[in-house]
Structure 1
């Protein structure tokens, strides 16, 4: 009964909000051949993120309308993103929040450059906040299912934040090969963080009955696959540069790849409890290449450590001989080359 009443209230809110947006914000644009009705950004957002049906994802037609703002002037695109982010941050409804996140994700993945650019600008924070969407504490206690869905809101927002900061759209051969080693390592770290986060979906036993969550699972699975391709592309580039890596970068890279290998072990342990759309098992070729490069880097680190210790011993030995030659210390003090 409570659920039905909540759905009715949500439907009334949708109707009132859309009617208000239609009356106040819709404009008419005249062209040389006809007069067309231009939907306002607010109305487009409200139609794509309604309260009801609560467990249905945004309709493809409404998402296409949002994408059409990519061919509009920049102020219109900025107004759309501002309205969508405002909708996301002001709602306390888990269903509306997930639909808003799906719409943002769709704009970032499929939108024109102007939309992705405006999205990055709209979410930028002078303080450098780790969570620009500010949904890490989101809660919807209105029903048991909404409470469970809240965890999906928090998780999906975290995935989207990492996706926005990732270099998935810079995978050209020239752009990667021209990166200095520290920048290449920074990009690889960003992608690994994204991949690991996509594989930390919260528990949701009834996910098969919820089309909204199932859509979240589907799009995040696509992000996971894209992150794996981008990681593999950069790992292969690293393999070509092994001779140019310094000691610090080598150690950091080895730790990063070891984290990935640890995830492979978790995949096998959690495979039975994971929705099929989020197949956590990665292809053998991916893990084999990760392991191969990690082992090569491990050998490189050991060699650098050995060379470093040998140089240190040589320097201490030479220093001892100088001091002994001029009578500054007793010869027996440094017999083992240890510094006291």
Structure 2
């Protein structure tokens, strides 16, 4: 008969080891990676034969190298240290289950591992890959500071931080969500502007008449109600700011050149802007005005040069005003922290 004291000491240790290793053992014993009577499945790529740690992210199991993760992430290190396992049994890996409250998605953890194993470094990654690494490495999730900083820098390089007319990105809505969540103000203006001036941000009105029944509506961006409201407000502010600029006929240093503007401003500037929603897109409309061949319409070279500088300055004025409209810090100041 087993002494009662020995039984009391051995049973908790046995149960802890069993709970830590059972999922890994079942996966190893099934060639298709599925765990019997479970939704768990070993990851198709990151189930490494020589791995020393099994990490569960959502319903995926990853068998990876413990030190590669724990030296970058104090959070993972603490989870591993807090996982009970029998250190005398080197044939079995400890299993760490990332808590649901951390919010780690398996696809983002995969992107992080692709970076750490140099399969897809952040420097070569797509927006989707960089976004996954940014989230997984953040303090809110696994907390890998150096990797997170690299992802931030890469994300900043993907979008302009200065006024760029005609800028558009299919990922603008997702990028803006990330830039706001992780406080990356340098790219927020370009993303807000792009979404405000190029997106369908109206509220649903199934019973209301359509002003353009034959025209397909732009794809509605995937934004939170708060961000969508900020974009709508920004559009109103852009229109209010640019309306007097557009409808004020330009003047020049010479009367002859001023007369050119008086005759050409309506057909060359105002009418095309109204027909092409230019009132809602001041950066693009100003660029169109700058690109016109004013010399061919009779403007002297000095006035062409001076007016183009003036219109470029107006582009910058719109850009600078957005700091106040959006409540952003100046680009020369602190770029925010995570």
TM-score by length of 2: 0.25
Q: Quick check: which has more Rg, 1 or 2?
A: 2
TM-score by length of 1: 0.25
More helix by share: 1
